[in-house]
Homo-oligomer: A and B are copies of this chain.
Amino acid sequence: MTSLNDLQTKINDEVNKLSFPLRPANLYEPIKYILSIGGKRMRPALLLMACDAFNGDINKAIKPALAIEVFHNFTLMHDDIMDNAPLRRGKATVHEKWNQNVGILSGDVMLVESYKLMMQVGDKLLRPVLNIFNETAVGVCEGQQTDMEFETRNDVHIEEYINMIRQKTAVLLGGALKIGGLIGGANDHNATLLQTFGEQLGIAFQLQDDILDVYGNPEKFGKQVGGDILSNKKTYLLIKALELANGEQSAELKNWFSGSHSNPKQKVEAVTSIYDQLNIRHHAREAMNSYADHAFQALESVNMPAQSKTYLRGFADSLMIRES
């Protein structure tokens, strides 16, 4: 197996080589800009890894891997407009650096460019690969819309939340793995198992993110503790807490999550205290571990070289901080 580090280097080289027309400058420069401000290239790396895992030629998978990265950055460009976000990875977002119309239209053409890249597969794979890509893209849009609708709802159920994060985050990981597997020579059955591995892992990963926001070591995690609480975000922790809370706890939570409060530290401490009373960290970890287990079961069932399985398992473990 090619190491993750080598894959990331290869992807970054190829991203830098992507060429677009010079004009209209305000259509294409934002694409180069958002792609240049980085990220870990995890999604295209997963696509290449899946190809490699079946002993496929990763050079044949590089354009589809770029397609996944361009698509992902298209969603970031439009999400940043919708979220009114001034910064992305510490740099000005496209709609801030240029303007909103530039962000909309550059994003649109990025989506088309991602199709152009994804089409660079053999004729036999063209239709199946694009079908997966279409379903993935629709899922991501549905997930984003559902997430926005959650902001104004107070009756979100755990299952709805899981489905939202599955669509918004996990289907793209699953889609990348399935496409990479098919290019690497996997049959549909094995590629679909790899997709399941990716989706379930993606859900587990997002749940871990929810936990770390409250219980993570801020030095390691690199984010402010309680950021989700302060922004009144509906996370697994909050939804589960509202489900388990008694009348008094429920009223207290609803009070903290309505409007803004002048003392952020106090708010984070009070909410965390209720989470602790309800053993929310434990419940969230159980859910996370359950999705991770599903992921590993799917991976175990894939018919691929043992070495590949071990590698992917190791990769997944490194993503997850497994807590017992």
Contact = CB atoms under 8 A, between A and B. Distances in A.
A159 to B, nearest CB: 13
A107 B149 CA distance: 17
Interface residues of A, number: 36
Number of copies: 2
Which applies to chain A's interface (DSSP): helix, strand, loop or mixed? helix
Contacts of A123: 123, 127
Interface in A64-114: 78, 81-82, 101-102, 104-105, 107-109, 111-113
Nearest to A138: B112
Interface string A244-284: 00000000000000000000000000000000000000000
A303 interface: no
A113 B27 CA distance: 23
23 contacts: A21-B142, A23-B142, A24-B145, A24-B146, A24-B149, A27-B142, A27-B145, A78-B105, A81-B101, A102-B145, A108-B108, A109-B138, A109-B141, A111-B112, A112-B134, A112-B137, A112-B141, A113-B138, A115-B130, A115-B134, A119-B130, A126-B126, A126-B127
